[in-house]
Structure 1
Amino acid sequence: MEQAVAECVGLLGAVTDRAWEGVRAGRLEWDCRETAVHIAEDLIAYAGQLAGREQDAYTPFELSLEEGAGNTGALRVISTMGALFAAAIRTAPREVRAFHPYPFRSANREGFAAMGVTEVLLHTHDISEGLGLSYEPAPELCDFVLTRIFPHVQPGPTPWSTLLWATGRGELPGRAPVTHWRWSNNLVIGTERLTLQGVTPAAATDLSTVGDGGFAWIEGGPVEGTRIGAGLVYKQYEDGVHRPEWGMYALVRREDGRAIGAMGFHGVPDAAGRVEVGYDLVEGARGHGYATEALRALSAWALGRRETRTVVANVERDNLPSQNVLARAGFTQVPAEDPEHLTYELREPDEG
């Protein structure tokens, strides 16, 4: 956050003597002055959401600059609001989520950071375009944004050109122009004892190697199956076929915020409405009903979507604990052609 704001203020600080009012900011309807104020408004609004732990709506306040505050004053406010927002991010616990309207009505500290950085990058670009300045932010800032709140966007030639295209501000060879866009914070599904937290491409990249994906794991985690699954998630992201709701979820205990395993889908539902689910737990978390609890919640979420009719799970024939999990979660064994695996299904409730 500090880096994005510093780049913005450093660039625009060199042209504060020029007229910003009445000069259209890129493709926006606002002028450059209004856009600069909007950056500050976004930063303090996100800080308020996160610091206030708002759950149902935006904190009801507005930001206004003192009468007579010039362009230099606007940049001072951006710097200050950025500092406040950075402090809110640093002090927010890992598990805190606060209200944001789309797509799933909440975001964690990393999501808010990514949204704030996006606002700074894009609107600095808009102002620069209006004033005829050259601007290209640090690639790591763009990558931070793309791998956290644009999981549905396939990486392009460079992170900056990809972000501009994804937000309707640029073109990419072979891709249709974007006329409507929204970022996507990770989905979280709650149960009595767990939260199922959607794994972003950034977290998947880390998990697929030797990292923790940004989660605090119990001893022994993450297990090899989670790392393999995370690698598949990132491969889907690279191929442009990743749909975050139909990806991987980390299973996090409410009592201590510790990750105990992972569960997720192998892809989106097929034409027949079938979607396959898989899961694993760290050994120390087994035998407590966590997998059953999570599977019930994730299956219910999937069957509540219009594109899903059946949730499928394939399990090794000698894996009795996993078979018991499926049975307790309401799955029924069905005939399978695979000699090494048994197939279980859970179907949507009969409307009749």
Structure 2
Amino acid sequence: MMLSLRFKLSLATIFFLASSSFAAQTTDKLDDSILSKKRLEIFDLSKEQIEEDSSKLKKDWINPIMYTYSKVYGETYDTEKSLVSIDQPIFKAGGIYKAIKYANATRLYSHLDLDLQKKALIKDTTTLLFNIHKLILEIKKQELLVKNGQIDIQRKKEQVFNGFADTSVLDTAILDTNTSKNALAELVYQKEELINQFNTYAEGDYTSFELPKFKLLEKESFIKNNLNILKSKADISSKNDYTWMTISKYLPTVSATFDYTKYHDSNNPTINIDQSVQNYGIKVTMPLDTRTYNDIQSTRIDYLKAKLDFDNVILEQENFFKSKLSKIKMIDSKITIAKDDYELYNSLLDVIVEEKEAELKTQSDVDTLLNSKKIRELELKILSIEKQIELLEIYSKIS
């Protein structure tokens, strides 16, 4: 019985080991430290660019101050002068206010879009990290299958030599084991391939990173913080503001004007170069364009499309969440099955060990069953990683 107790390991302990295949930390967000510094710098520069573009857009209603220098050569006199001209709208029927709002909405939309791109890259890189660790476990599992195959070959050899089986039985065992060896070689290759892909995006070797551990979100929290939905809201806001900007473009605009003319050295006796000319005033303009209605309607249609698309985005994200929940439930079912298998192998191993001590079974029988039990342990860890990958997909969608 002492030998039996040596192999005994509780299911709770195994499940703990499966969970511990990740880092001890539980997180509710994606960690961007997994990305290389250069890739993070690109995102930082993109953020700066968004801010600059937004600041520029806010100032689009402000006209530049125009400076003109000219020198005219005449038959009798030459004229050289400088002209400073200002033509600045001070009222555009709400267009100035909407232009500033449009700039802010566009800024928010651009930041959310960039955040989605960044999270997608973090998610892809973290998924590679998960899959590397998953392959390491699958390699260990395949090595145990190869060991069991080699034990089976040895058993079949003894049966053939003792006349209890023909050679076809041995051939089948050899072919099955070779298939397992080929599968092992393929897994080793896949692991190296994934490591190379990981190194393309990550900052450092995969062994320097701990696997995050995510918990399941509530649907309400997923929808409330969903980046795609927030981005769609920002799109509606920007298109609404742009519609009003378009309308104001065809309404009266009040502008302040100012001209300052300074004459330089001139041989024209009618011009006093010590004097300057200043003109200022108010100007009201209103375009009469046959395309006004079409332009306004086009922007309104864009706004209506954005509102309809918002409902589609919510539906897409709700169904995405449902699909992930279904996948997680399926993985949980597999985990339950693997736990039951483990318990079964545990109980069988106790019996086989006792029969081996009574010389009713051989050591190879014990080794085969022990390897099979270890395979179930590895499967629990593999399934835990698969579950975390699905949760990672969910977390890549939220702010």
With the shorter chain as reference, the TM-score category is under 0.3
Q: Which has the higher contact order (CA 8 A, sep 6+)?
A: 2
Q: What's the TM-score, normalizing by structure 1? A: 0.23
Higher helix share: 2
The structure having more radius of gyration, on CA atoms, is: 2
